[in-house]
Structure 1
């Protein structure tokens, strides 16, 4: 079995999606650091030398294949050279991707250039802890307690950037790469570890370059984790998929007595007033915004379409910051948001405005994230806060960059996939800030109240 100081290194394809992998490893008992930029090898050896796992919060879910070619190879080399046994390209647990943006198949192709001796690439997308399941290759995600096939999911089938039209994960992946894939389904996983290994070997011998594993329950997940850990015995193993991979490894390690799960964390307690920033257009976030506004939060609505071609961005930022600061001074928690759900009229206006300026719809994430990040910084410079929350993958990344945050660690669990984190910033004013980064699908309708109260699910 591998014996490495760093057990796992992962690259997350978006900022919020990276936190759930960090959370899974932390709960498994490993000190895990999430970097918001590629760390220097010296940083891993010095400042975070005692960490057992690390991640890089990337942005590849919003990149074209050509942009991925420039972004990913260096990250993959860093992971391979770090000594980590498992090197993970971390995708969203809803696998949202497309040939032209966030292409997971292209990411796997690029990784194979670094991990050249690897027999096959394991792919695990299901994460039962997050209510994401893969059964006979078909992927399901729960919403409000109901599991929906991905191509019929009320949110993911209507995703504004990468709507999921196909629930068969290998068929979806085949639209992004010519690499042949095969499935190890839940029936095959019911056998012994040796029997499942034999099934994998047969599929690889038949030409499979990518092997997808079903994921339905913790028992089978632990078996997959054991197979991955065994495969990583000789040299670093590249894997792709959701944080189900971390949960699978954790289940294996705990069954073998390699780690003790971490169950005790300091109580975060309440933090009021708070600043919440949302660039998410998910219907889940929409319900959370509606709930918050109905329960005492002050809302500030922004229209990103107004920012296109804005020749006085500094004044716009100051105006929004002044409005937020006035509400915070009155003791109100403030929710600054750019959209309420996927049908919000501002989305079409923003896309139309970008197109008129020769820019693509993918540029909306940068436009919204950078501007909201500047507002957030301006507010915190005037009014230090204990805790902030950010919704939306692109928004989270750009806000953190504006605050000079270069790394985070999980401080306490709140909602699965969206833990409370401690920020490391090069700006002393923001170092130690408590941060919660929320993906569009995470949390119940009272999520923002949970963050304010420091209340775990």
Structure 2
């Protein structure tokens, strides 16, 4: 096996698997480290070996002092697969701080596990409106491209608000490791000459450190992927560690190449009622909820007394139902209480209606909910909604249909599209104004 990864939230884990599949590589995603030996043992017993194995984790939501216990064992298991490259899948908006989900600390843990190395770090994902230019990161929202520290969602993120767009400074505040930057100009020179050797050298220097990589388009991602693989072949016996977004997964996936069939771009309509469990505080998710309510969905605020019982009753009666803490006019609620309430509703709804198509919103809450529901692994079924995909989950409830949605993902009519099985590609109009 050439590639394995750990994702610091569940929506990001599915995104990486989708990007690999777009590059022709099929994979299986475990919802925790306990499921990884099962997948590896299955491959050893003669079952089809996946091109990529992933672990969906929860590191993004953890205090930094708890990262070693979450990330260290996962990296060790991934290295044991024999993968030449191990990715830590981080959000394309670099969600992290010195206190929570620290990506700097993650790099230190990787070096402790895998030995001294330069760590290529790529947050760009052009197909999702994420770009890095001269070390500064930019992210699209509502058709406009903002410098990361001015993007409305990330500027006011409830857990890790971004105050710095220069990624070397953002990461440098989280680690004592040196942080360098690889310019897009070097990538353009490599593409123009057809020779990635200079990029490979820039990503494979002596000692330990982090190399933040510019990227403005898929050609840049592919050049980085080729250079990373070349460096991995020349490296020590241990795996090459890289950190970054689904854009990095796509770049490496295309450099590897594969022949897995494309995912279907349409899905059948839901067999039964849909259930949305939303712990997201994104305004995009709130717009999606409002659009669904306008289309006849029922919406229950978890912060209201009796919300779980009301949700179960509506769902049992066949209504497409949303249980949420997304409404910005609602009060705050402890994350543990959000998870426990949504798990209680989800478990009972799935027991009564196993044909439910389940939608989970919010990168920080998706993982905890899925794990509590007993889902052990995920595979991709269809990609009708751009970067939002239909998955099959396997676990204590048997097989279920599940969609995982990060806060900023999907268009306003997404929930109706999920219900109907309809789809359309996401539109990123990059001709609009860029906010610097």
TM-score, length basis structure 1: 0.85
> 2:25 — aligned with what?
30
Matching of residues 46-445 of structure 1 within 5 Å: 46-48=41-43, 49=47, 50-116=49-115, 118-192=116-190, 197-198=197-198, 201=201, 209-234=209-234, 235=237, 236-253=239-256, 258-260=257-259, 262-265=261-264, 267-271=266-270, 272-303=272-303, 319-341=306-328, 344-347=329-332, 350=333, 364-425=334-395, 427=396, 430-445=397-412
Runs of 4+ in 1 over 4 A off after TM superposition: 193-196, 202-208
Q: 1-side partners of 2:97 and 2:385: how far apart? A: 28
Give the superposition deviation at 1:150: 0.5
**Aligned Cα root-mean-square deviation (Å):** 2.1
| Alpha-carbon spacing, 1:41–1:279, altered in 2? closer, same or farther (3 Å) | closer
Q: 2-side partners of 1:60 and 1:264: how far apart? A: 29
Of the structure 1 ranges 370-379 and 321-330, higher mean CA displacement relative to structure 2 is found in: 321-330
Q: Deviations 1:17-40 (Å, cap 9, x if unpaired)? A: 111001111222222111111046
Secondary structure, counterpart of 1:233 in structure 2: helix
Q: 2-side partners of 1:135 and 1:56: how far apart? A: 30
Q: 1-side partners of 2:279 and 2:131: how far apart? A: 27
The answer as to 2:429 corresponding to 1:449 is no
Q: Number of aligned residue pairs: give it.
A: 414
Q: 1-side partners of 2:154 and 2:37: how far apart? A: 40
> 1:356 — aligned with what?
none
Q: 2-side partners of 1:46 and 1:203: how far apart? A: 34
Contact in 2 for aligned 1:139/1:167 (Cα 8 Å): yes
Structure 2, unpaired ranges of 5+: 425-436
Give the superposition deviation at 1:165: 0.7
> 1:10 — aligned with what?
5
Secondary structure, counterpart of 1:374 in structure 2: helix
> 1:360 — aligned with what?
none
Give the superposition deviation at 1:159: 0.2
| Alpha-carbon spacing, 1:447–1:208, altered in 2? closer, same or farther (3 Å) | same
Contact in 1 for aligned 2:267/2:384 (Cα 8 Å): no
Structure 1, unpaired ranges of 5+: 1-5, 307-315, 351-363
Contact in 1 for aligned 2:266/2:383 (Cα 8 Å): no
> 2:433 — aligned with what?
none
Give the superposition deviation at 1:398: 2.4
Contact in 1 for aligned 2:199/2:227 (Cα 8 Å): no
Give the superposition deviation at 1:375: 1.3
